[in-house]
Amino acid sequence: MSAYLILDVDIHDPEKYKTYMEQAGPLVEKYGGKYHVRGGPFEIMDGDWKPTRLVVIEYPDMETAKAMYDGDEYAPIKAIRHSCSTGHTVIVEGK
């Protein structure tokens, strides 16, 4: 069953974040991830959530998504993201 990693990212240092994206992309692909949303315009339809930049990545299953996100390979890349942005991340199981 697919799983989706959903990030709402507020970028504080775009140049450093570009480095993050260049490193994260190949690792996402290595784990079978597929970007469905990588920024872009959006509209708030309900509620008071104020996302900044949305990213949605589909993985083959929850275990693979967690293995990538919590893994040693992603740790230094995630540190780059944390150094140049703030935000929220969730993983949700799909159908």
Residue 18 maps to a domain = yes
Residue 68 maps to a domain = yes
Domains identified in the chain, total number: 1
Task: Give me 66's structure tokens.
Answer: 């967690």
**Per residue in 29-82, pLDDT tens?**
999 999 999 999 999 999 999 999 999 999 999 999 999 999 999 999 999 999
Task: Give the model's pLDDT for residue 24.
Answer: 97
Global pTM? 0.93
Residue 23 maps to a domain = yes
Domain of 69?
A: 3-40+52-93
**What Cα–Cα distance (Å) separates residue 34 from each residue in 48, 77, 80?**
29, 18, 21
Task: Give the model's pLDDT for residue 4.
Answer: 98
Residue 67 maps to a domain = yes
Rounded mean pLDDT of the chain?
A: 97
